[in-house]
Amino acid sequence: MKPASHHQRLGSEPILPLLFKLSVPGMISMTIQALYNVVDSFFVARISESALTALSIAFPVHIFLIAIATGTGVGTSSLISRLLGQQKNEDAILVAQHVLGASLVYGVLSAIAGLMLAGPLVRAFSNDPEVIRYGIQYTRIIMLGGVFLFTSIVANDILRGQGNTFLPMLSMMLGAITNIILDPLMIFGIGFFPRMEVTGAAVATVISKAVSCFFILLLLYRGQHQVKPKVGTFPLNVSILKSVYQVGLPSMFMQFLTSFMIGGLNMVVGTYTETAMAVTGVYFRLQSFVLMPVFGLTQGYIPIIGYNYGSGNAPRMKQALRYGLLTAFVITSIGAFLFRFFPQQLIGLFQPGPEMLAIGSEALTTISLGLFIVGPAIIGATTFQAIGLGLPSLALSFLRQMVLLLPFAWILGRLWGLSAVWYAFPLSEFIALVIMVFWLGRRLQKVFASLDNAANQLPVTDPETGNPEA
C-alpha cells in the first residue's frame, strides 16, 4: 500500500498529531526568524540609542514589504490546499507560476520605491540628523533587496499549501542563521569585513534573504512535489490572481495596518520622547518571539482547515479549530507571563539607558495584561482566511489597530501621559476579541450546517480514511 501523499494526509490523519507535524517546523523556523530580528537590534543597540531608534522608524517599512509577501503567500497556500482538496492539481501548479511571477514584479517596485522614498519616510518621524542618516541607510537597502523577501516567502507558501512544512522550515532556518552570523561581522567590522554599523545590519539581512530564496527555489523546482512549477512562460490568467488575493489581500492589508499602526504609535509616543520610539521598536521585536510561533502554528492549521473545508469534512474542521485555539492560547500566555514578571531583564538586552529601561519595563508590564488572548484571536482570523473569507479578518484587524488601539493610545496619553498609552494594547485586544468570537461563531454555524447537509447526501465514508466505502 502506498503511503499517503502530503495532501491526502490532510483529510485522513488524526488531527492533533497532524497539526503538530505540520506546524512544529513552521513554529521553529518562525521563532528563529524572530530571534534574528532581535539579534539585529541587539547588536545595533551597541552602536547608540540613535541607531536603535532608526531601526524602530524603519521597522514599519520592513513590515510593509513583509505584508505584500505574506498576503500573497497566505492566498497561495489557502488556494492550493483547496484545489488539491478538489483534486485539481494542474490548476494548483498554474497558481504557483503566477505568484512567483508576481514576486518578481513586487521586487522591482520595491527597489524603485527604496531609491525614491527612503529619505522622506524617515524624515517624517525624526529631526535628529544621526537618526535620519541611520534610518535612510537601513530602509533603502532593505527595499532594494525586497525581491528576495517576496520570492522566498511565496515559494515557502507554495509548499505549505500542499502540506509540506519541513522544507520551508529549513529555508527560513538557513536564512536566519546566516543573518545571525553576518550581523556582528558586518556591523562591527570583524575579520575581513569593514565596519558598516547600521548599513551592515541591513546588508546582512538582505544576504540572508537571498540565501533563503535561492535555497527554497532550488528545492521547489528540482524536488518531487505535488505542486511543482513549470519552467518557462505560461498564459496569464487574471482570475487566478483574483482568487489568490480574495484571501490574500485582506491578510496583506492586515499587515499594512500593522505597519501603519506602528508608524502611528511612533508618532504618538515620539511627542513625549524619542526614547519611547526606541521602546516601541524593542517591544515589537520581543513580541515577535511570542507571536511568531502562533503564526508558525497557522502554517499547519490553514492547510488542514482549507483541505477539509474543500472536501466537506466538518468534524475534522471542528477538531482542528479546538486544538488550534488551545495551542495558541498556551503560547501567548507564556509570553504574557514573561513580559509581566521579567520586563527589566528583557529590556536590558538592548543596552538601555535609565530612561529607556524605565519606559520599556512599564510598557511590557502593561501590555502583558492582554497578550494572552492574542493567540486565539490570530487563530480566529486565520480560520476566516482558510475557508476563503478574508474580509472579516481585515475588518477585525482594522477595528483593533486603527479604530481602537491608535485612538486609545492618543486619548489615554493626552489624559494621563506616556504611562497610560500602553493600556491601549490590552483594551483594544479585549474589545476586538469579543467581536471576533460572535462573528466567527455565527459564520461557522452556517458553514458546518451547510457541510452537514451536503454530507447527508453523500455515500457513507470510512471513518479511518475519510474515503467512500466500497
Residue 468 lies in a domain: no
What value does the mean pLDDT take over residues 239-247?
86
Residue 453 pLDDT exceeds 80? no
Quick one: pLDDT at residue 2?
43
User: What pLDDT shows up at residue 296?
Assistant: 86
Q: Is residue 89 part of a domain?
A: yes
What does the pLDDT average to over 176-196? 92
**Looking at residue 467, what is its pLDDT?**
54
User: 60 lies in a domain?
Assistant: yes
CA distances from 123 to 12, 129, 267, 369, 442 (A): 55, 9, 12, 34, 46
* Stronger pLDDT, 108 or 390, i.e. the higher one: 108
DSSP characters over 206-249: HHHHHHHHHHHHHHHHHS--SS-PPSS-----HHHHHHHHHHHH
Q: Does residue 444 have a pLDDT over 70? A: yes
Neighbours of 231 (CB within 10 A): 8
267: in domain: yes
Backbone angles phi and psi of 124, in degrees to 5: -70, -15
Range of the domain at 136: 14-455
Quick one: pLDDT at residue 83? 84
Q: 32: Cβ–Cβ under 8 A, 6 or more apart, which residues?
A: 172, 173, 176, 177
Share of the chain above pLDDT 90, in %: 44
pLDDT tens by residue, 124-165: 888 889 999 999 999 999 999 999 999 999 999 988 888 787
More confident residue, 85 or 258: 258
Band (pLDDT 50/70/90 cuts) for residue 311 is: confident
Residue 127 lies in a domain: yes
201 grid coordinates: 545590519
Q: Give the pLDDT score at 164.
A: 80
* pLDDT score of 465 more than 60: no
185's CB contacts (< 8 A; 6+ apart) are 191, 193, 200, 204
pTM of this structure = 0.78
pLDDT digits 0-9 by tens, 267-310: 999 899 989 999 999 999 899 889 989 988 987 888 888 888 87
The pLDDT value given to residue 459: 54
Which one, of 78, 98, 80, lies nearest residue 89 by Cα? Answer: 80
Percent of the chain at pLDDT > 70 equals: 94
Residue 1 counted as domain residue? no
Give the residue with greater pLDDT, 264 vs 452: 264
Q: How far apart are CA 293 and CA 458, in angstroms?
A: 38
Type of residue at 32: I
In the predicted model, what is the mean pLDDT of residues 19-36? 81
Please report whether residue 9 resides in a domain: no
Residue 460 lies in a domain: no
pLDDT beyond 80 at 353: yes
32: which 3 cell numbers? 528563529
Q: C-alpha angle with apex 35: 34 to 37, nearest 5 degrees? A: 65
Q: What is the pLDDT of residue 93?
A: 84
pLDDT value at 95 more than 90? no
Measure the CA–CA gap between 166 and 29, rounded to whole angstroms.
Answer: 9
Higher confidence at residue 333 or residue 86? 333
State the total domains in the chain: 1
Predicted confidence (pLDDT) at residue 463 exceeds the cutoff of 80: no
Beta-carbon contacts of residue 173 (< 8 Å; ≥ 6 apart):
28, 29, 32
Instruction: Return the higher-pLDDT residue of 209 and 14.
Output: 209
Q: What integer pLDDT is reported at residue 456 of this predicted model?
A: 65
- Calculate the average pLDDT of the chain: 87
Cα separation, 165 vs 406, in Å, equals 35
